[in-house]
């Protein structure tokens, strides 16, 4: 009998397994593919490795601006793919080693609940029964498609396929201008592909602070991404070596179509019907304080959860919360308000807390303060001085949200995470001095301006 059996070895599952050692819990982690899950194997890590390759390529192209004379670079796609695989393999190996060191039993196979406290693992028809005091469901999500656009891995692909393309597509249509669509658009356009992005909405990255989304769209457009927003795509016409995507009276011919219209939970075949776990369109309802589902002793974390963002670091936090409750009976809820969200496009976009729109929807009287990277010394030195830091402050109250568009936004957002998480008043946060010259000074300047004063 294990203290905890976890189904799914992605960020939600492996974080739960790793954290359990703090309390001396015995753990089995059931995984059908490779530990690491979507994030490590076919999501965050490989996608950001490709984006890094695009950034290096762009930097070399701009070398002469800095006085560095290099010949015009070319991109070796197979070397990029090999590096991506090397990064993923290295991290999977590291994770496997860490799980072993923490004495987690990693069980290879497909796990299915058989009532609370029992998980049946199927590996090639062979079944193994695991008894557990607690079960954590962390089975994650898979890419969704739209009618007529079934994935075939060649003409119509998901992000899973695109991360493993054997050659660079010269022309790509991306359906869905969400986070995945925009990250691929940014990477592919920088590496020289012709990129068309379609969305039924008339904006990109829905849910992200609108001014930040507009700034990102402008930057991608400037670099050549063609946006077709507020349109419905017609069924694809697959020809010899090409696909035609129609919209309204127009059409574009591309080599391949990447569908990135969101992800759906992977919960249909894991025995939830043998428990009292409640679901909604496949997503699992869990208590926000404890991660427990409607079935006592069955918990859920990660992308399977209803009503919370599907982010790897959110899954880490949910795993910690579930394990803490299992071990101590004390709730340790995830602070979603202070959970940062980063889009790794060029420029990066990062946000935390509430945007102005969301704060107003919640009935808050807010002020917005922003500062451009335009005149920030370090940004000029780096050659990346486009972008804006924006903070949302409750009138006579704390900082409730922030967004950053610009270089290293994903790193800088964390100081604003503390401001939001600790409900800092602008004057308290502005009292700290940022080192000069740094990119973070843009945050410092925004904080100073939120006190009604200004420096530069």
Residues that are catalytic: 436
Does position 306 interact with ligand NAI (CB under 6 A)? The reply is: no
**CA-closest candidate to residue 177, choices 245, 234, 230:** 230
Residue of 88, 261, 286, 349 that binds ligand NAI (CB under 6 A): 261
Per CB under 6 A, the segment of 101-109, 173-181, 185-193, 436-444 that binds ligand NAI is: 173-181
The residue behind tokens 């396929």 is 161
Reduced to 3 states, what is the DSSP secondary structure of residue 258?
strand
322 binds ligand NAI (CB under 6 A): no
CA separation, residue 177 to residues 183, 263, 363 (Å): 9, 13, 29
The one among 41, 81, 180, 322 contacting ligand NAI by CB under 6 A: 180
Considering only residues 218 to 257 of the shown chain, the ones binding ligand NAI according to CB under 6 A are 233
Residue of 206, 246, 331, 377 interacting with ligand NAI (CB under 6 A): 206
Q: Please compute Rg for the chain using Cα positions.
A: 23
Please identify, using beta-carbon distances, which residue of 104 and 205 lies nearer to ligand NAI. Answer: 205
- Residue among 10, 11, 12, 176 that touches ligand NAI (CB under 6 A): 176
Nearer to ligand NAI by Cβ, of 110 and 227: the residue is 227
Measured CA distances, 436 to 377, 378, 393, 433, 441 (Å): 8, 8, 25, 9, 7
Is 374 among the residues that bind ligand NAI (CB under 6 A)? no
Q: Using alpha carbons, list the distances in angstroms from residue 320 to 15, 117, 373, 393, 454.
A: 7, 20, 36, 30, 41
Contact status, residue 373 vs residue 386, Cβ threshold 8 Å: yes
Is 175 a binding residue for ligand NAI by CB under 6 A? The answer is: yes
437: preceding bond cis by omega (within 30 degrees): yes
Q: Going residue by residue from 139 to 168, which x/- string records binding to ligand NAI, judged by CB under 6 A?
A: -------x----------------------
Q: CB-wise, 28 or 257, nearer to ligand NAI? A: 257
Q: Which residue is nearest to ligand NAI (CB)?
A: 178
Interaction of residue 11 with ligand NAI, rule CB under 6 A: no
Closest approach of ligand NAI to the CB of residue 151, in Å: 13
By CB under 6 A, residue 343 contacts ligand NAI: yes
Q: For residue 339, state whether it binds ligand NAI (rule: CB under 6 A).
A: no
- Size of site (CB under 6 A) for ligand NAI: 26
C-alpha 400/C-alpha 392 separation (Å) is 6
Asked whether 202 and 174 are in contact (CB, 8 A), the reply is no
Long-range (24+ apart) CB contacts under 8 A made by 57-65 are 57/190, 57/191, 58/190, 58/346, 62/383, 65/383
Peptide bond into 18 cis (omega under 30): no
Q: Which residues bind ligand NAI (CB under 6 A)?
A: 146, 175-181, 183, 198-201, 206, 233, 260-263, 309-311, 341-344
């Amino acid at each position: 009998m294990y203290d905890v059996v976890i189904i799914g070895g992605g960020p939600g599952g492996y974080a739960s397994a790793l954290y359990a050692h703090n309390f001396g819990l015995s753990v089995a982690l059931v995984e059908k593919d490779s530990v690491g899950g979507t994030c490590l194997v076919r999501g965050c890590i490989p996608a950001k490795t490709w984006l890094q390759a695009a950034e290096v390529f762009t930097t070399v192209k701009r070398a002469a601006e800095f006085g560095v004379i290099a010949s015009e670079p070319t991109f070796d796609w197979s070397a990029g793919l090999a590096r991506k695989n090397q990064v993923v393999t290295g991290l999977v190996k590291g994770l496997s080693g860490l799980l072993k060191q923490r004495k987690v039993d990693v069980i290879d196979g497909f796990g299915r609940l058989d009532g609370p406290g029992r998980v049946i693992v199927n590996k090639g028809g062979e079944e193994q029964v695991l008894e557990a005091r607690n079960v954590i469901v962390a089975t994650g999500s898979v890419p969704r498609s739209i009618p007529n656009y079934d994935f075939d891995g060649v003409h119509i692909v998901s992000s899973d396929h695109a991360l493993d393309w054997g050659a660079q597509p010269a022309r790509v249509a991306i359906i869905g201008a969400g986070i995945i669509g925009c990250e691929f658009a940014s990477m592919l356009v920088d590496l020289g592909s012709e990129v068309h992005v379609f969305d039924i909405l008339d904006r990109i990255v829905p849910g992200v602070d609108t001014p930040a989304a507009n700034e990102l769209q402008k930057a991608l457009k400037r670099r050549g991404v063609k946006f077709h927003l507020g349109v419905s795509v017609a069924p694809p016409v697959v020809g010899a070596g090409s696909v035609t995507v129609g919209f309204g009276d127009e059409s574009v011919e591309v080599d391949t179509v990447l569908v990135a219209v969101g992800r759906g939970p992977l919960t249909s075949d894991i025995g939830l019907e043998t428990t009292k776990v409640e679901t909604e369109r496949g997503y699992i309802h869990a208590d926000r304080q404890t991660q427990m589902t409607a079935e006592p002793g069955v918990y859920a974390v990660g992308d399977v959860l209803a009503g919370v963002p599907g982010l790897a670091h959110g899954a880490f936090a949910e795993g910690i919360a579930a394990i803490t409750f299992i071990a101590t009976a004390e709730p340790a809820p995830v602070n979603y308000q202070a959970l940062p969200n980063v889009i790794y496009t060029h420029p990066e976009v990062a946000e935390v807390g509430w945007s102005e729109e969301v704060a107003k929807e919640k009935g808050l009287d807010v002020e917005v303060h922003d500062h451009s990277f335009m005149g920030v010394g370090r940004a000029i030195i780096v050659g990346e001085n486009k972008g804006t830091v924006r903070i949302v402050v409750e009138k006579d109250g704390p900082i409730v949200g922030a967004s950053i568009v610009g270089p290293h936004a994903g790193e800088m957002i964390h100081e604003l995470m503390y401001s939001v998480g600790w409900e800092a008043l602008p004057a308290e946060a502005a009292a700290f001095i940022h080192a000069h010259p740094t990119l973070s000074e843009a945050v410092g300047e925004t904080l100073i301006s939120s006190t009604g004063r200004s420096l530069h």
